Amino acid sequence: MNATVRKLAPTEVELDIEVSPSDFAVAQDRAYRKLAGRYKFPGFRTGHVPRKIFEQHVGKESIESQALEDLVPEVYAKALKEHQLEPVDRPHIDLDRSDAERGVRIKAKVAVRPEIALGQYRGIPVKRMAIAVTDEEVDHSIQALRKRAATLVPVEERGVQDGDTVTIDYVGRINGEPFEGGTATNHTTEVTAERFVPGFAEQLHGARPGDHVQVKVTFPPDYRAAELAAKDAVFDVTVHEIKHAVLPELDDEFVKQVSQHETVAALRDDVRRRLEAVAQARSNEDQQRQILDAVVTNHMIPLPDVLVDREIDSLVADARSYMQRIGRSWDEYLAAKNVDEDGLRAEYREEAARRVKTALLLEEIAKQEKVEVTTAEVEQELDDMARAYGQTRESVIEFVRKTGGLGPIIDTVSRRKTLDLLVANAEITDAEVTAAQIVAH
């Protein structure tokens, strides 16, 4: 076999592979023996029919076809290894057998990973958000525990106040017409600014059971339902019931009811540890984000279109899945964004390209740094997945087996180890902030 390579583009090559007549003859002999075992001929044991008789009955073409079916993947893989090419898609194969004296000529056009000359990825300047959990933040978390354990008591002597729980009917209209998601009956919710469109909760204040209130609001420009963003709406609201939350006393008895601890002091210590753990995780994620931003900016590499298109496919699939979960149709989603699917794919292209570039750079850094994933680390990842999804380890392994094997698991662990390496080798300076600021960030 003789193979040469020609670069068609930064991420596309054409392999020209020549298989000599003698090598092709060997391949045909192997193919004949393979095929002979599949046929029965009177007077001959299975697999022992002479080749000439086999060709007379089955045809010489079937042998040649089987030989090529076996030979092409074999010599293609050898050519890739010889020229150190990493394909990212299936090749487009052309066969030329016009010159019998030269054997078989195979042209394989394929997209390949780009050549990456790594620049700076160690010593990236990073601002690390130091963790400083305050007593007020601990108090806020414990107050949330008390609210969840609160008793709701009907209120009759006053109107709605902030923090009350109300049962209401409402009908929302835009330009006089009701809109999807803007109507509810006997809807129970807490009256806080965070639970409503800005300005809605305040206009309920003072209303009593049986009152009818007209609420006028403007949806924020970045509202999650794009079709409502920045639009004015009027809600006709009927208040049915008001309840006030009576919080339990913060004492040891309460602590025993809502936790595994015995005392208020033990609960406070546990809450503080949890807040610190959450803040630490967010801080680590932020450091990784800063490093990846810098590494991506520091490198200019060509991206195979096929990888970007696959990532766009993944983003579209995620959007479709999300729409199904919230009970909205795909057509409604596209209409709200005022695009067709081609337009949506165009919107996703920049993000998809960034994801592909990030993945390629992390893989190259892992290769440069000889990052290896051990069997124990894969086993631990499987255990973590089982715990996170509330499944048995066996069911997780079966799911992994059906959805592509351990490759994605190994990639996940390798990516995490590479990110840890980048953080460990960054130039980190501390910035003092509270845990609440980190969580909000």
Q: How do residues 92-117 score in pLDDT, each as one tens digit?
A: 999 987 766 678 999 999 999 999 99
Question: Dmax over Cα atoms in the chain, in whole Å?
Answer: 105
Q: What pLDDT sits at residue 297?
A: 94
pLDDT tier at 369, thresholds 50, 70, 90: very high
> How far apart are the C-alpha atoms of 311 and 352, rounded to whole Å?
5
* Tokens read off for 378: 């894969």
Is 130 part of any domain? no
Question: Under a CB-based contact definition with an 8 Å cutoff, are residues 147 and 164 in contact?
Answer: no
- Show which of 198, 215, 246 is a domain's final residue: 246
> How far apart are the C-alpha atoms of 411 and 12, rounded to whole Å?
24
CATH number of the CATH domain containing 101: 3.30.70.1050
Q: What is the dihedral of CA 170, 175, 176, 181, to 10 degrees?
A: -30
Q: What pLDDT sits at residue 77?
A: 95
Neighbouring residues of 404: CB distance < 8 A, sequence distance ≥ 6: none
Q: What pLDDT sits at residue 420?
A: 94
User: What is the side-by-side order of every strand in the sheet holding 2-9?
Assistant: 2-9, 12-19, 104-111, 92-96
Mean pLDDT value across residues 343-355: 95
Residue 225 has pLDDT above 90, yes or no: no
Q: What pLDDT sits at residue 418?
A: 96
Q: What pLDDT sits at residue 434?
A: 53
Kindly state whether residues 102 and 28 are assigned to the same domain: yes
Is 378 part of any domain? no
Q: Tell me the per-residue pLDDT of 373-429, one tens digit each, with 9 for 90 and over.
A: 999 999 999 999 999 988 898 998 988 888 878 898 999 999 999 999 999 999 999
Q: Tell me the per-residue pLDDT of 41-62, one tens digit each, with 9 for 90 and over.
A: 887 888 788 888 888 888 888 9
Kindly state whether residues 289 and 323 are assigned to the same domain: yes
Q: What is the dihedral of CA 290, 293, 297, 302, to 10 degrees?
A: 150
Domain count, the chain: 3
Kindly state whether residues 279 and 350 are assigned to the same domain: yes
Kindly state whether residues 183 and 241 are assigned to the same domain: yes
* Straight-line distance from the first to the last Cα atom of the chain, in angstroms, rounded to the nearest whole number: 58
Q: What pLDDT sits at residue 440?
A: 52
Domain, as residue range, for 17: 2-111
Question: Under a CB-based contact definition with an 8 Å cutoff, are residues 427 and 128 in contact?
Answer: no
- Show which of 218, 246, 274 is a domain's final residue: 246
Mean pLDDT value across residues 179-205: 93
Kindly state whether residues 268 and 348 are assigned to the same domain: yes
> How far apart are the C-alpha atoms of 167 and 154, rounded to whole Å?
11
Quote the DSSP letter at residue 247.
P
Residue 248 class from Cβ within 10 Å (0-12 exposed, 13-18 middle, 19+ buried)? middle
CATH number of the CATH domain containing 159: 3.10.50.40
- Show which of 221, 246, 271 is a domain's final residue: 246
Is 370 part of any domain? no
The sign of the torsion formed by the CA atoms of 264, 267, 272, 275 equals negative
Kindly state whether residues 343 and 314 are assigned to the same domain: yes
Neighbouring residues of 186: CB distance < 8 A, sequence distance ≥ 6: 167, 168, 169, 240
Tell me the one-letter amino acid at 172: G
Question: Under a CB-based contact definition with an 8 Å cutoff, are residues 142 and 251 in contact?
Answer: no
Distance of CA 75 to the CA centre of its chain: 36
Closest CA to 79 of 18, 7, 10: 18
Is 16 part of any domain? yes
Q: What pLDDT sits at residue 53?
A: 87
Is 313 part of any domain? yes
Kindly state whether residues 315 and 279 are assigned to the same domain: yes
Mean pLDDT value across residues 267-273: 95
Mean pLDDT, the chain, integer? 91
Kindly state whether residues 222 and 261 are assigned to the same domain: no
Q: What pLDDT sits at residue 436?
A: 55
Q: Is the whole model's pTM more than 0.85, yes or no? A: no
> How far apart are the C-alpha atoms of 28 and 176, rounded to whole Å?
78
Residue 327 class from Cβ within 10 Å (0-12 exposed, 13-18 middle, 19+ buried)? exposed
Kindly state whether residues 313 and 434 are assigned to the same domain: yes
